[in-house]
Chains A and B, each alone.
Chain A
Amino acid sequence: MKSYVAKRLGTMVLILIGVLVMTFVISRVLPGSPVEMYLGSRPSAEAVERVTREMGLDRPIYVQFVRYLGEVVQGDFGISLMTKRPVLTEISERFPATLELVLCSVLLVVLVGVPLGVVAALRQNGIVDVVARSVSAFGVAIPTFLIAMMLQLFFAGQLRLLPLQGRIDDLVLLDYEFPHVTGLYLFDSAIAGEWVAFGSAAAHLVMPTLALSLSALALIVRITRTMMIEALGEEFVTTLRAYGLSSARVNFRYVLKAALIPLLTVVGMTFGYLLGTSVVAEYVFDWPGIGGFIVRAITKSDYPSVMAITMLLATAYLLITFLVDMLHFAVDPRLRH
Chain B
Amino acid sequence: MATQDITPSEPSRLATIWSRVAGNKTFFVGLVLFVVILFAALFAPLISTHDPLKIDFGAKLVAPGSEHWFGTDELGRDLYSRVVYGTRTSLMIGVVVTLLAVAIGAPIGLIAGYEGGRLGFWLMRFTDVFIAFPPLLLPIAITAALGQGLYEAMLALSISAFPWYSRIVYSEAQRVSKSLYVQSARASGFSHFRILTKHMLPNCWTPAITQASMDFGYTILAAASLSFIGIGAKEPDIEWGLMVATSRTKFLDYWWVAMVPGLAILVTVFALNLLGDGVRDLLDPKGDSK
Task: Mark interface residues in A270-287 (1 if CB within 8 Å of B CB, else 0).
Answer: 001101110110011000
B134 at the interface (CB under 8 A from A): yes
Task: Mark interface residues in B138-150 (1 if CB within 8 Å of A CB, else 0).
Answer: 1011111111100
A306 at the interface (CB under 8 A from B): yes
Give chain A nearest CB distance to B157 CB in angstroms. Answer: 13
A190 at the interface (CB under 8 A from B): no
- B255's closest neighbor in chain A, by CB? A153
Q: How far apart are the CA atoms of A310 and B229 in the complex, in Å?
A: 16
B-chain residues with CB within 8 Å of residue A138 when the two chains form the complex: 266, 270
B-chain residues with CB within 8 Å of residue A31 when the two chains form the complex: 145-146
Q: How far apart are the CA atoms of A53 and B32 in the complex, in Å?
A: 61
- With beta carbons under 8 angstroms apart, the residue of A18, A149, A152 that contacts B125 is A18
A276 and B137 in contact, given A141-B269, A146-B266 (Cβ under 8 angstroms) = yes
Q: How far apart are the CA atoms of A321 and B253 in the complex, in Å?
A: 43
Of residues 119 through 147 on chain B, the ones whose CB sits less than 8 Å from some CB of chain A are 125-126, 128-130, 132-138, 140-147
Of residues 301 through 337 on chain A, the ones whose CB sits less than 8 Å from some CB of chain B are 301, 303, 306-307, 310, 313-314, 317-318, 321
Of residues 244 through 267 on chain B, the ones whose CB sits less than 8 Å from some CB of chain A are 244, 248, 251-253, 255, 258-259, 262, 265-266
Judging by beta carbons under 8 Å apart, are B269 and A313 in contact? Answer: no
Judging by beta carbons under 8 Å apart, are B252 and A152 in contact? Answer: yes
- A17's closest neighbor in chain B, by CB? B129
Q: How far apart are the CA atoms of A220 and B170 in the complex, in Å?
A: 27
Q: How far apart are the CA atoms of A15 and B163 in the complex, in Å?
A: 14
A-chain residues with CB within 8 Å of residue B225 when the two chains form the complex: 143-145, 280
- B141's closest neighbor in chain A, by CB? A310
Among the stretches A21-29, A82-90, A199-207, A252-260, the one at the interface with B is A21-29
A-chain residues with CB within 8 Å of residue B274 when the two chains form the complex: 137
A299 at the interface (CB under 8 A from B): yes
Q: By DSSP majority rule, is chain B's interface helix, strand, loop, or mixed?
A: helix
Interface range on chain B: under 10, 10 to 19, 20 to 34, or 35 or more? Answer: 35 or more
B224 at the interface (CB under 8 A from A): yes
A30 at the interface (CB under 8 A from B): yes
Judging by beta carbons under 8 Å apart, are B273 and A140 in contact? Answer: yes
A39 at the interface (CB under 8 A from B): no
B230 at the interface (CB under 8 A from A): yes
A-chain residues with CB within 8 Å of residue B269 when the two chains form the complex: 140-143
A14 at the interface (CB under 8 A from B): yes
Of residues 288 through 307 on chain A, the ones whose CB sits less than 8 Å from some CB of chain B are 294-295, 298-299, 301, 303, 306-307
- With beta carbons under 8 angstroms apart, the residue of B132, B141, B146, B221 that contacts A32 is B146
Interface size of A by CB at 8 A reads: 53
Judging by beta carbons under 8 Å apart, are A314 and B132 in contact? Answer: yes
B-chain residues with CB within 8 Å of residue A14 when the two chains form the complex: 125
A157 at the interface (CB under 8 A from B): yes
Task: Mark interface residues in B209-235 (1 if CB within 8 Å of A CB, else 0).
Answer: 000000001000100110011110000
Max chain B Cβ within 10 angstroms of own Cβ: one of A141, A272, A277: A141
A19 at the interface (CB under 8 A from B): yes
Judging by beta carbons under 8 Å apart, are B142 and A26 in contact? Answer: yes
- With beta carbons under 8 angstroms apart, the residue of B137, B144, B148, B265 that contacts A314 is B137
- With beta carbons under 8 angstroms apart, the residue of B145, B255, B266 that contacts A141 is B266
B113 at the interface (CB under 8 A from A): no
Judging by beta carbons under 8 Å apart, are B270 and A149 in contact? Answer: no
Q: How far apart are the CA atoms of A144 and B269 in the complex, in Å?
A: 13
A150 at the interface (CB under 8 A from B): yes
Judging by beta carbons under 8 Å apart, are A298 and B133 in contact? Answer: no
Judging by beta carbons under 8 Å apart, are A310 and B270 in contact? Answer: no
- B258's closest neighbor in chain A, by CB? A149
B-chain residues with CB within 8 Å of residue A275 when the two chains form the complex: 134, 137
Q: How far apart are the CA atoms of A14 and B127 in the complex, in Å?
A: 12
Of residues 169 through 211 on chain B, the ones whose CB sits less than 8 Å from some CB of chain A are none
Q: How far apart are the CA atoms of A21 and B125 in the complex, in Å?
A: 13
B-chain residues with CB within 8 Å of residue A318 when the two chains form the complex: 132
Task: Mark interface residues in A64-104 (1 if CB within 8 Å of B CB, else 0).
Answer: 00000000000000000000000000000000000000000
Judging by beta carbons under 8 Å apart, are B140 and A306 in contact? Answer: yes
B241 at the interface (CB under 8 A from A): yes
A-chain residues with CB within 8 Å of residue B133 when the two chains form the complex: 19, 276, 310, 313-314, 317
B-chain residues with CB within 8 Å of residue A23 when the two chains form the complex: 141
Give chain A nearest CB distance to B44 CB in angstroms. Answer: 22
Judging by beta carbons under 8 Å apart, are A30 and B145 in contact? Answer: yes
Besides A141-B270, A298-B230, A299-B230, 17 more A-B contacts (Cβ < 8 Å) are: A15-B128, A16-B132, A19-B132, A19-B133, A26-B145, A31-B146, A37-B145, A137-B274, A138-B266, A143-B224, A143-B262, A145-B244, A149-B244, A152-B252, A295-B229, A310-B141, A313-B134
Q: List 28 A-B contacts (CB under 8 A).
A: A11-B128, A15-B128, A16-B132, A18-B129, A22-B130, A32-B147, A138-B266, A141-B221, A141-B270, A141-B273, A142-B265, A142-B269, A143-B225, A143-B262, A145-B225, A150-B259, A150-B262, A157-B253, A275-B134, A275-B137, A277-B135, A277-B136, A279-B137, A283-B229, A303-B145, A307-B141, A310-B140, A313-B134
Q: Which 9 A-B pairs have the closest CB atoms?
A: A276-B134, A18-B129, A276-B135, A141-B270, A146-B262, A141-B269, A30-B145, A310-B141, A275-B134
